[in-house]
Chains A and B, each alone.
Chain A
Amino acid sequence: AQSVTQLGSHVSVSEGALVLLRCNYSSSVPPYLFWYVQYPNQGLQLLLKYTSAATLVKGINGFEAEFKKSETSFHLTKPSAHMSDAAEYFCAVSEYTGTASKLTFGTGTRLQVTL
């Protein structure tokens, strides 16, 4: 079964600093990988996805992630944090169950941005 592990349930950065949120995956087949963001009192929305095309994926709001097969990683980065980036971020992998597909989510990383 496919799974993802997010390292660090809370990450705090200063405004303008680099954002790095870590995600490692486990998959027996080439995976589809996703990052979702959840702002307070809202649902999850797609930030970016990797579906076997370019290994460096660019998403909304200046975020990007790089698929590294050798490291089984799909870390999320942003060069310069903004206060509006404060949210919870979820990594997910698409899993085929034999009859249908579903996304398996990590436990989430809460990003705090300080002045």
Chain B
Amino acid sequence: DARVTQTPRDKVTEMGQEVTMRCQPILGHNTVFWYRQTMMQGLELLAYFRNRAPLDDSGMPKDRFSAEMPDATLATLKIQPSEPRDSAVYFCASARDTGWIDEQFFGPGTRLTVL
């Protein structure tokens, strides 16, 4: 049963600390997405990659957020320094893009709390 995995599932940290969230996409998927979900803003697309190349990170605060895909089995989202307003659930999703995406699979999310 192929699925997207995310670690950690929960993270509590103090303001100013670095946070790293990891995602393992489904094997064979060539597109990876990072989303943030909050009560106020709903589901926001932060960044996405195709074949490990970043395509669009316009949804991310550039000064503190960075997203990378060091290899096909790992995507990372870093926040440095973290702030209380970054508290949210962060989802990773993967898909196979053959011209059009016909299904996108979500991970269980990382719940981040910044104190």
Whole-angstrom distance between the Cβ of A80 and the nearest chain B Cβ: 27
Whole-angstrom distance between the Cβ of A58 and the nearest chain B Cβ: 16
With A44-B91, A49-B103 given, is the CB distance from A102 to B48 under 8 Å? yes
One of B4, B91, B102, B104 near A51 (C-beta < 8 A): B102
Q: Which of B33, B95, B102 has the most CB of A within 10 A?
A: B102
Q: Please tell me if the beta carbons of A100 and B107 are within 8 angstroms of each other in the complex.
A: no
Q: Please tell me if the beta carbons of B97 and A49 are within 8 angstroms of each other in the complex.
A: no
Whole-angstrom distance between the Cβ of A9 and the nearest chain B Cβ: 9
Whole-angstrom distance between the Cβ of B113 and the nearest chain A Cβ: 14
Q: Please tell me if the beta carbons of B107 and A102 are within 8 angstroms of each other in the complex.
A: no
With A43-B91, A97-B56 given, is the CB distance from A102 to B101 under 8 Å? yes
Cβ–Cβ < 8 Å partners of B104 in chain A? 34, 46, 92, 103
Whole-angstrom distance between the Cβ of B57 and the nearest chain A Cβ: 13
Q: Please tell me if the beta carbons of A96 and B100 are within 8 angstroms of each other in the complex.
A: yes
Does A42 reach chain B (CB closer than 8 Å)? Answer: yes
Alpha-carbon gap, A44 to B42, bound state (A): 13
In the complex, the chain A residue whose C-beta lies closest to that of B104 is A103
Chain B residues bordering chain A, tally (CB within 8 A): 25
Q: Please tell me if the beta carbons of B33 and A102 are within 8 angstroms of each other in the complex.
A: yes
* Residues 17-61 (chain B) with a chain A CB within 8 angstroms: 31, 33, 42-43, 45, 48, 50, 55-56
* Residues 58-115 (chain A) with a chain B CB within 8 angstroms: 90, 92, 94, 96-97, 99-103, 105, 107-108
Cβ–Cβ < 8 Å partners of B55 in chain A? 97, 99-100
Whole-angstrom distance between the Cβ of B47 and the nearest chain A Cβ: 11
In the complex, the chain A residue whose C-beta lies closest to that of B91 is A43
Cβ–Cβ < 8 Å partners of A42 in chain B? 108-109
Does B99 reach chain A (CB closer than 8 Å)? Answer: yes
Q: Please tell me if the beta carbons of A94 and B102 are within 8 angstroms of each other in the complex.
A: yes
B interface with A by C-beta (< 8 Å): 4, 31, 33, 42-43, 45, 48, 50, 55-56, 91, 93, 95, 97, 99-109
